[in-house]
Amino acid sequence: MENDSSKSYDYLFKLLCVGEANVGKTTFLHQYIHDNFANFRSTVGIDIFEKQIIDKDNQQILLQLWDTAGQVCEHKT
């Protein structure tokens, strides 16, 4: 069991980013975390980005952003 005093945050939020392949999920998350755009190869499996923020009440919030590999969907017309 994890000791609560070892945590460096007050709240932990895990967000899962899903969508079709090549729509910009990784680019969007990278822009939010690192404040710049970059081109990426397709994600294989899952990547996890983390960002720690402080809210207006001076509480530490850790965001875990899970970037999934996109699914190629065939659209029938």
Give the pLDDT confidence score for residue 77 in this predicted structure: 65
- CA–CA separation, 28 vs 67, rounded Å? 10
The pLDDT score that the predictor gives to residue 1 is 42
- Pick the residue with more confidence: 56 or 44? 56
Query: In the chain, where does DSSP find H-type helix?
Result: 25-34
Q: Which residue would you say has higher pLDDT here, 38 or 52?
A: 52
Per-residue pLDDT at 13 exceeds 90: yes
Residues 34, 46: Cα–Cα separation, whole Å: 18
